[in-house]
Amino acid sequence: MYIIKIKGKVKIPDYVQIRDEQFTLLAYFRADRPERALQKVGLAEKEEQIKEIIAELPFGKVQKLELK
């Protein structure tokens, strides 16, 4: 899987995309509210780890999502 953080503008918040190996969109959610989206794609148990990755992730850079 891959993760991308998109910078919001003025009233539009920052968003995060999680994509699979073929870059098909799996989840698209606000960076500050990942809970429901992660639950829908079966990553609820990895929520804390993903929040840490989001906090460190630079905007606009596609990064391989390596979960432990």
pLDDT of the residue at 68: 76
Does an H or E element contain 15, and which? strand 15-19
In single-letter form, the type of residue at position 31 comes to A
Q: For the segment 9-23, what is each residue's pLDDT rounded down to a tens digit?
A: 989 999 999 999 999
Question: Among all chains, which residue has been given the structure tokens 């960076």?
Answer: 31
**What local confidence, expressed as pLDDT, does residue 10 receive?**
87
Percent of the chain having pLDDT more than 70? 100
Phi-psi region of 10 (alpha: psi -120 to 50; beta: other; left: phi over 0): left
CA distances from 68 to 9, 12, 13, 45, 62 (A): 33, 31, 28, 11, 19
Q: How far apart are CA 39 and CA 46, in angstroms?
A: 10
Give per-residue pLDDT as tens, 27-62: 999 998 899 999 999 999 999 999 999 999 999 999
